[in-house]
Chain A
Amino acid sequence: MALDPSFLEYPLRRYGMDHERYAWSMLTERRPVAWPGGRKLALWVNVSLQHFPLNPAGKPVALPGNMSMPYPDLRHYTLRDYGNRVGIYRFLKAFDRYGIRPTFAINARLAERYPSLIGAIAERGDEIIGHSWSMDTAHAGGLEEAAEAELIKRSLDCLRARTGREIRGWLSPGRLESAHTPDLLKAEGVSYFCDWVNDEMPYRFNTQHGDLWAMPLSAEIEDRFLIVDNFHAEASWAEQVKDACDMLLEEAKTQGGRILSLSIHPWVLGQPHRIKHLEAVLEYLSGKEEVWSASAGEILDAFLRQPAL
Chain B
Amino acid sequence: MKEDPGYYDYWPYRDRPRIRWPNGARVAFWVAPNIEFYELNPPRNPQRNPWPHPYPAVPGYSIRDYGNRVGHMRQMKLLDKYGIRGSVSLSSALCVHHPEIIAMCRERHWEFFSHGIYNTRYTYGMSEEQERSMILDAMETIERRCGARPQGYLAPALSHSEVTVDLFAELGGVYTCDLFHDDQPTPVRVRGGQRFVSVPYSLEMNDSIAYAVNKVEPRRYGQMLKDCFDRLYAEGAESGTVMCIPTHNYQVSCPHRLKAFEDALAYITGHDAVWLTTGGEIAAHYLEHHYDQALADIAARQPGAA
Contacts and interface: CB of A to CB of B under 8 A. Distances in A.
B93 interface: yes
B259 A247 contact: yes
A132 to B, nearest CB: 14
Given A219-B59, A236-B217, A14 B53 contact: no
B70 interface: yes
B45 interface: yes
A197 B61 CA distance: 9
Interface string B16-57: 000000000000000000000101110101100000011110
A246 B259 contact: yes
Given A2-B126, A3-B46, A61-B53, A199 B69 contact: yes
Contacts, number: 148
A15 B99 contact: yes
Size category of the B interface is 35 or more
A142 B127 contact: no
A10 B63 contact: no
A281 to B, nearest CB: 11
Interface in A154-187: 174-179
A177 B63 contact: no
Size category of the A interface is 35 or more
Most buried by B among A60, A195, A200: A200
A175 B59 contact: yes
A175 B217 contact: no
B255 interface: yes
A3 B126 contact: yes
B238 interface: no
A202 to B, nearest CB: 13
Interface stretch (B117-125, B181-189, B280-288): B117-125
Given A7-B45, A8-B133, A231-B215, A18 B39 contact: yes
B97 interface: yes
Contact of B58 (A26, A196, A247): A196
B58 A176 contact: yes
Given A8-B130, A15-B96, A179-B56, A3 B45 contact: yes
Interface of A: 1-4, 6-8, 10, 12-19, 24-29, 60-61, 140-142, 174-179, 195-200, 218-221, 229-233, 236, 239-241, 243-248, 251, 260
13 contacts: A1-B125, A3-B125, A7-B45, A7-B126, A18-B37, A140-B53, A195-B58, A196-B58, A198-B69, A221-B256, A243-B257, A245-B255, A247-B259
Given A3-B127, A199-B70, 8 more contacts: A4-B43, A7-B43, A15-B97, A19-B41, A60-B54, A198-B61, A220-B256, A221-B254
